[in-house]
A and B are shown apart, each in its own frame.
Chain A
Amino acid sequence: MTLAASGLSYGFPGRIVGSEVDLSLASGEIVCMLGPNGSGKTTLLRTLLGLLAPRGGRVTLDDRALGEWSARERAQRLAYVPQAAESDFDFSVQEIVEMGCTPQAGLFAQPAASDRERARAALERLGIAALAPRAIHRVSGGERQLALIARALATGARYLLMDEPTASLDFGNQALILDELVRLREAGQAVLFTTHHPDHALRIADRVVMMREGGIMAAGGTGSVMNSQNLSGLYGRPIEVAVLTCRDGTRRRVCVPIGGLPDRG
């Protein structure tokens, strides 16, 4: 049971953004997509979500072509977590999460007590049940992102596709989101996320897909792919992956740009 792309060309009518993409995502794993701005990450993510039709090759969801699922069936399996953006309306966190019940309800269904419970359960899974009545505008960026993840969980989807879930979050909130993604993996969810922080891939990803100019530059297990040479090639400047021994004795790999002037501090 996977979300898989094989020989995929993707893009817009009349404009191919990338081609020959193979990748897969299964339950209980985190895959991270890295690449410079304009490398096609978001367009590929939208194609995998079924929001853009493949321009060639195929995308399969649980062994069936993605396009063959009805929109509702697809939404019950595959959820999108956008970057936390401002809505022009003052929805409460509870209302935002309840929207995740839409794939289960019909077109004309009105909010029911079961939806309320479902949203409540999703909020509790992420430990933010106390935020339910708060306006989505008035919670922190990290909490807003958690609310969007809760909405994705409320759909009942197994596959969660996240577009830069840590973008525009402060350092503490980035770590908070990463910890939650690990917890979701332990619970059997499949998580695919894009990021501009290679350190986030090093920290939680099982596998990494490196995108450059629409195609896959390198892909594989995090340990083997995330090396200095690949990262330097990916971002077009010298980057080193170093090993840091932390105070608590754990060894962590971190990614730093090198060259240029020595540090000030």
Chain B
Amino acid sequence: MIVSRARYPLWLAGACVLLLLFAAWSFTLGKFPISAGDVWRALWAALTGAPSGLPPSVDAVVLQVRAPRVAAALAVGAALAGAGAAYQGVFRNPLVSPDILGVTAGCALGAGVGVLLAWSHGAIQLAAFVGGLAAAALVMLVAAWVRGRDALLTLVLTGVVVGSLFGAGVALVKYVADPYNQLPAITFWLLGSFTSALPRDLPVTLVPIAVGLLPLLLLRARIDLLSLSEDEAKSLGVPVVALRLAVIASATLVTASAVSLAGTVGWVGLVIPHAARMLAGAAFARVMPLSLVLGATFMLAVDTACRTLFATEIPPGVITAFVGTPVFIALLAISFRRPA
């Protein structure tokens, strides 16, 4: 079912309200239950600077533990879904995901090296970020040097190759790592988790995510044209090469930041844009904002489940994979069975 154009703003607003309500609910859940009223008082007090009148432990849990965690989950979900939608448009393939450029593998290698060299947490994040951007840059450089007949196919294949190269690097780092301390740390990092979201680390990730999502939102109507053949897009007066580079660079920045915060959380970038497209139709002008909201909601739901379902936390990457794989298979079946 596709929402009519006139109703779309209503749906988007509805999705935003749902997201806010869900975020509020998520704040109350956890090993230390806090009432919605207390959550509200603590947040309001933090915003206005007035004393909340709550026990300091409640303030601390809301502001120091849950707020960064909720913010991180929302930002990472929006980032991965937005980047996924953008990559799908640029690569003219609805089955593409942020992993395609080898960005995820690059981030993993950067972080692995960081853990191996016993860097601080912030430095590991930075290393992951640099690794992701390096992978994307390497892919674009190699693809430009190869100058394949089909530029997009060349880019995708190069992404797979560079991804496996960085993957081999990760394997080497794991092999070299001390199996008692470093190896578990690297493995946990690769699985992804929001447990390490600390208030002081958040700006390092949230600012690049915001910086990357802004051009994607501004250019979203032009991404439609990138999903056409290159000749069609150019003949419609669009600076195709510059636009494609801008979108890929923005999406890569966003992905690398998200991965550097939460590890390699897969599937969100593939599944969420699809859900948005099923609701709002194919036009990226509508898919992009809805993807951001749905991605944020989905990631928050996954993380809330991760930290409340069992006595020990499960990595969000596990849940996204369990949810994502069957959805992907269903999408594959639907898109291949579509009558021509």
Give residues in A with beta carbon < 8 Å to B.
46, 49-51, 71-76, 78-80, 82, 85-92, 95, 99-100, 102-103, 107-111, 137-138, 155
Contact = CB atoms under 8 A, between A and B. Distances in A.
B227 A89 contact: yes
A71 B234 CA distance: 8
A88 B227 contact: yes
- B interface, by DSSP: helix, strand, loop or mixed? loop
B232 A102 contact: no
B234 A109 contact: no
B61 interface: no
Nearest to A74: B237
7 contacts: A51-B235, A72-B237, A88-B94, A95-B282, A99-B224, A102-B237, A138-B339
B225 interface: yes
Contacts of B221: 109-111
A50 B235 CA distance: 8
Contacts of A90: 277, 281-282
A95 B227 contact: no
Interface of B: 89, 92-94, 218-222, 224-225, 227-229, 231-232, 234-239, 243, 277, 281-283, 285, 338-340
Given A85-B229, A89-B94, A100 B236 contact: yes
Given A49-B231, A80-B235, A99-B228, 5 more contacts: A71-B237, A78-B235, A79-B235, A82-B229, A92-B282
Contacts of B238: 71, 102
B94 A111 contact: no
B298 to A, nearest CB: 21
Contacts of A111: 221, 283, 285
Nearest to A152: B235
Contacts of A85: 229
A142 to B, nearest CB: 15
Nearest to A155: B236
Nearest to A71: B237
A137 B220 CA distance: 22
A153 to B, nearest CB: 13
A79 B235 CA distance: 6
B234 A51 contact: yes
Contacts of A50: 235
A105 to B, nearest CB: 8
B219 A108 contact: yes
Contacts of B225: 99, 102
A102 B340 contact: no
Contacts of A99: 224-225, 228, 236
Nearest to B220: A110
A82 B234 contact: no
A89 B282 contact: yes
Nearest to B215: A108
Contacts of A75: 235-237
A103 B237 contact: yes
Nearest to A73: B237
A58 to B, nearest CB: 20
B158 to A, nearest CB: 20
A91 B239 CA distance: 22
A95 B224 contact: yes
Contact of B228 (A87, A107, A138): A87
Most B-side CB within 10 Å, residue of A72, A79, A87, A99? A99
Nearest to B96: A88
Contacts of A91: 224, 281-283
